[in-house]
Structure formats: C-alpha cells, structure tokens
Amino acid sequence: MIPNDTENAALTPRQEAVALGVASGLSLAAAARKANVAVPTTKRWSTTLPAFRRRVQELRAEMTSQALAGWWTGWPALPTRWGYLARKGKSKWSA
C-alpha cells in the first residue's frame, strides 16, 4: 500500500468509532464527541478521506440489511404478537 493513500487506507480505531456513530444516525459532531475526537478533525475526515465516507456507507448498508433480515425473520410471528397486544395491551386512550 502507498503511504498516506487516502483512497484505500484502513481507518484508525477512532475513525471507525466515528464512522459507526454517523452510520447509526448520530450527527458528525455527536459521533465525534461520543468517540472523544475533536469535531474539526472529524469534519476533515469526512471531506478528505474517501475511505471514511465509504466506511460510513458500508456500515449503513450492513445495519439496514441486518434490520431487514431481523424484520423478515420475525414476520410470521407478527399476527400472533399483534393479537396478543390487541387483547392485553392498553393505550393511553383506553377507558
């Protein structure tokens, strides 16, 4: 690998932590604070490191895939669950 090759460079653990936070729905600033990284640093990563932006996209795609797989796997049980909730559940509008 070429030194300082920002196109294909592996992310540092701090960059990975921020990427995970952003992919999870946090703002860049919130992800930076959670990972204990300066906000300007994370802004620089997001604008100058294609590998960082690519990793955020990869993590989002993976999370979406896992969420859909979990939803689809649980689909057969939903009518039973809804029936249970209709019988046992209470809403704030119930008498």
Assigned domain for 26 exists: yes
Does 92 map to a domain?
Answer: no
Identify residue 3 by its one-letter amino acid code: P
Q: Which residue has the tokens 């939803």?
A: 71
Q: Give 50's contacts (C-beta < 8 A, 6+ positions apart).
A: 6, 7
Neighbours of 81 (CB within 10 A): 10
Is residue 35 a part of any domain in this protein? yes
Other beta carbons less than 10 A from residue 45's beta carbon = 25
Q: How many structural domains compose the chain?
A: 1
Whether residue 1 lies inside any domain: the answer is no
Instruction: Give a yes or no: residue 91 inside a domain.
Output: no
Residue 89: band (very low, low, confident or very high) from pLDDT cuts 50, 70, 90: low
Range of the domain at 66: 13-84
Q: What is the pLDDT of residues 17-73, one digit of tens each?
A: 999 999 999 999 999 999 999 999 999 999 999 999 999 999 999 988 887 776 666
